[in-house]
Amino acid sequence: MAIRKIRVIGDECLTKVCRPVTEVTDRTKMLIEDMLDTMYDAGGVGLAAPQVGILKRIVVIDVSPEGDSPIVLINPEIISTSGKQTGEEGCLSVPDKSGIVTRPKKVKVKAFDIDMNEFTLEGEDLLARAFCHEIDHLDGHLYVEKIEE
């Protein structure tokens, strides 16, 4: 697959609301593979399609220590949250910066997999933070809008 260029803060693509995916084509599958390759190459734990210039509601996440448990979310929606966690957050689109952000401690999302089968997934701590952070990207928001200091 290929490593794609990651768009950085100031790029108009990062401020746009993404379109839902209606079908997964070979091109969509290639995009997902490229997003995973790009995320791993950049040392990130998540990447949203607009970060590589594609305005589609697709997110990839891997918070496993080994980096071998990728999660692909197509048209993800947060359906419930609970608790709070405050901690440092960074972003591949805001290089060499970080800030303190409060997010839910637990998050439940509904999404579609690569075969367009609907599923739900719950995450805590870093995974919950990643869900919120990446889904924000799909709505044109960056974590820097939420920094507390």
Give me the half-sphere count of Cα atoms (radius 13 Å) on the Cβ side of residue 117. Answer: 3
CA-closest candidate to residue 60, choices 25, 32, 79, 22: 32
User: Which residue is catalytic, options 23, 134, 145, 149?
Assistant: 134
Q: State the first-to-last Cα distance of the chain, in angstroms, to the nearest integer.
A: 39
Known active-site residue 118: no
Return the bridge partners of 137, or none. Answer: none
* Active site residues per annotation: 134
